[in-house]
Amino acid sequence: MRGPPGGAGRRGRRWPLREGRGKGGLWGALAAEKAAELGRLAAEAARSLGCGDAGLQAAEAVLRAGLLKLGGGVLGEALSADRGYRGPRVDCGRGHEALFTGYRDKLIDTVLGPVTLRRAWYHCARCEHGLAPRDAELGVSGQSMSPGLAAMTGKAASAVPFARAAGLLEDLAGVALTVKRVERAAEADGAARAAASRARAALTAGRKLVPLPPDPLPDKLYMVIDGTGIPVTSKETAGRQGKGEDGRARTREVKMAVFFTQDKVDGEGYPVRDRASSSYIATFEPAAAFGDLVKAEGIRRGADHVRQLTVIGDGAAWIWGVATSKFPEATQIVDLYHAREHLYSLTRSLEFMLLNSRDQWLAARLEDLDYGYIDGIEAAVRQYPLEGVKKDEVGKELGYFLNNAPRMRYHWFRSRGLFVGSGVVEAGCKAVIGQRLKQSGMHWTVAGADAIITLRCAEASSQWETTYRNRHNQTGAA
Ligand SMILES: [Zn+2]
């Protein structure tokens, strides 16, 4: 083992306190003190082990709590090696000079427990505000949590409701935080990530940032675009029309896109999604802003380079608006399962005329649809002359097929080995959004839901990120 860390610290900075107490210096004294504490812990763990069945568990608990505390102490000492003095004056951030006024303490929660950070404090007379350059360097400006604990909290709170997340953090990580702090930290983490990805998306969509194409390049890239309602507080829907009986909206729509790739078809000619190839984006923002995110993620996923680019959607007009403006070269496909739903609905509207031939008629139309023969569906509907309300109702149902006819050439799409349904990813969307955001009794603020959705999309995309990064590294290192 190497000696105490008296030499180079992180990022090669020399610890400023090297002289210090006694023969081994400050770090030597510290090491001796910590070693003594470690000895006491070891003895206590050994005693616990002798206490029968629960001995091992007790020893684990004793050691973990003790080591966390010890680690917190070491972290505190390490932090105190740099008091954050950056000269008598520093830039306040707005081009003025802020003057050194003394040292101030800040309590931060870390994965090792609370740690007090004593650092130089500066004050800008013109802005009338104070700042500590050290806080910015450590990533704790305006924060009461270390970046490590904030990331851990974000991970827990994006997976399960806030109260359970607080419980998990305490049980699994030994970190005690109130539910409110878990919520605030996760929302801050998610909001920061959302802002960063919006900024990156603007640069990418504007071609100011050009990501390297994925390597190896996939043959087919799909974007499945969808919208789903998130239950929100009444304040968030004030003045908005809803579908409920009282006409009040209870949800706000989050727009979402899943990107995945496909290289192969199976023995029967059905396309097979590439493993771990999905990445997710979602936002409450209007279609235009969503479009920029889609554009950027598409570019990142190789949309400019793949042989076949496909957009799948349920038929909603805004989806094709985004697809056409952002990726005009993409093949547009209406999800076959949504189209079938519409066909069932169309059949119900005609039921009163179809009578006994209903099932036969529906079966024939489903065959038309599977083939992409929308003219056949139209001709079959037009055989029934309708009047009034019924005419409007059926006309609307039929309109869905006529408006989307070029996006329903299913036979042709299939012959090219393309997916024609979004079923493969719809389950993924439900898992990413629904499982966390749509539990009974939940009412979100838009900002809060957006932050948690951002965290969950990042988590769900991490498999692709990892695979892609590794591949890339291997290529570089080979
Ligand atoms: Zn200033």
pLDDT digit string, tens, across residues 109-141: 999 999 999 999 999 999 999 999 999 999 999
Range of the domain at 34: 21-80
Average pLDDT over residues 361-365: 96
pLDDT given for residue 64 in this prediction: 92
Residue 158 covered by a domain = no
- Output the CA 136–ligand 1 centroid distance in Å: 16
Residue 51 covered by a domain = yes
Exposure on the CB side of residue 459, measured as CA atoms within 13 A: 23
- For the chain, give the percent of residues with pLDDT over 70: 91
Same domain, 436 and 301: yes
CA distance 84 to 82: 5
Q: Over the Cα atoms of the chain, what is R_g? A: 30
Residue 161 covered by a domain = no
Q: How many residues does the chain have?
A: 478
- Output the CA 131–ligand 1 centroid distance in Å: 10
The domain tally of the chain equals: 4
- Name residue 122's beta-bridge partners: 100, 131
- Name residue 257's beta-bridge partners: 225, 281
- Output the CA 128–ligand 1 centroid distance in Å: 7
Q: What is the dihedral of CA 352, 357, 363, 364, to 10 degrees?
A: -100
Residue 186 covered by a domain = no
Same domain, 266 and 317: yes
Same domain, 68 and 58: yes
- Output the CA 185–ligand 1 centroid distance in Å: 28
Residue 439 covered by a domain = yes
Same domain, 231 and 324: yes
Same domain, 418 and 367: no
Residue 169 covered by a domain = no
Residue 208 covered by a domain = no
Same domain, 56 and 127: no
- Output the CA 129–ligand 1 centroid distance in Å: 7
Residue 167 or residue 272, greater confidence: 167
Last residue of a domain, one of 65, 80, 95: 80
- Output the CA 361–ligand 1 centroid distance in Å: 76
Same domain, 325 and 438: yes
Last residue of a domain, one of 49, 65, 80: 80
- Output the CA 97–ligand 1 centroid distance in Å: 7
Residue 471 token pair: 């591949």
Last residue of a domain, one of 380, 408, 436: 408
- Output the CA 93–ligand 1 centroid distance in Å: 7
Protein residues placing their CB within 5 Å of the ion ligand 1: 92, 94, 96, 124, 126-127
- Output the CA 99–ligand 1 centroid distance in Å: 10
- Output the CA 130–ligand 1 centroid distance in Å: 9
- Output the CA 100–ligand 1 centroid distance in Å: 13
Same domain, 262 and 310: yes
Same domain, 327 and 445: yes
Tens of pLDDT, residue by residue over 74-94, are 999 899 999 999 999 999 989
Residue 426 covered by a domain = yes
Residue 20 zone, left/alpha/beta (φ > 0; ψ -120 to 50; rest)? left
- Output the CA 91–ligand 1 centroid distance in Å: 8
Same domain, 470 and 393: no
Tens of pLDDT, residue by residue over 46-59, are 998 887 778 899 99
CA distance 260 to 279: 7
Same domain, 393 and 350: yes
Same domain, 377 and 244: no
